[in-house]
Amino acid sequence: MKKHVLRFVTLVCVIQLLVACNGAQKEKFATFHGEEDTESQSKIEKLLKDEKSIQKGTAVFIDDIVLVGVEVKPFSKMRKAKIEKALQKKFEKEFPDKEILVSTDLKIAWEAQKLMKKELSEEELKKKVKKLQELAKEET
C-alpha cells in the first residue's frame, strides 16, 4: 500500500514539475505603430527594457499620440506613481513632438494589448485610444 502511495505522489510531483517548466514565452514588450515606424518602435522597446521595475509593456502609436501601458513587477508596486512619472519624462524627452500617456494601471495595459490584436481601422483605433486616455486620467 505504501509503495502505491509513494508512486502516486512521485508521479504527481513529476507532472507538476513538467507543467511548471512548460511556461510559454510571451512577448514582454510590444509596440504597434500605424505607419510601421520601426525606429520609434525600437526606441520605445529599448526604454521599456532598460527600466528594471517593469514586467511587461505595450505601446500604441496613432498619429501624434503614444499610449504606453506598463505592468510593474510585484515588489515595485509601492512605487507605481514614481515609476509612471519617470517613464512619462523619459518618453516626453525622447518624443517631444508626440502626445505621450504612460500608465501603470493594469486596465490600460490590458486594453492596449487588446488593441494590438484587433484588426481596426485607423479611425476606430484613434477613438479607442482617446477613450483609454480619458479612462487613464480619471481618478478612482
Q: Which secondary structure element, helix H or strand E, spans residue 65, and what is its range? A: strand 65-72
What does pTM read for this prediction?
Answer: 0.70
**How long is the chain?**
140
**Within-domain flag for 13:** no
**Within-domain flag for 100:** yes
User: Which residue carries 532598460 as its cell?
Assistant: 50
86-118 tens-digit pLDDT: 888 998 998 888 888 888 888 888 888 887 777
Rounded to 10 degrees, the C-alpha dihedral 42/44/48/135 comes to: -140
Q: Residue 41 is part of which domain span?
A: 26-137
**Within-domain flag for 12:** no
As for how many domains the chain has, the answer is: 1
55-97 tens-digit pLDDT: 888 888 887 888 888 888 887 778 888 888 988 899 899 888 8
Instruction: State the CATH number of the domain containing residue 33.
Output: 3.30.300
**Within-domain flag for 16:** no
**Within-domain flag for 127:** yes
CA atoms of 27 and 72, how far apart (whole Å): 15
**Within-domain flag for 6:** no
Q: Find, among 90, 86, 106, 109, the residue nearest to 98 by Cα.
A: 90
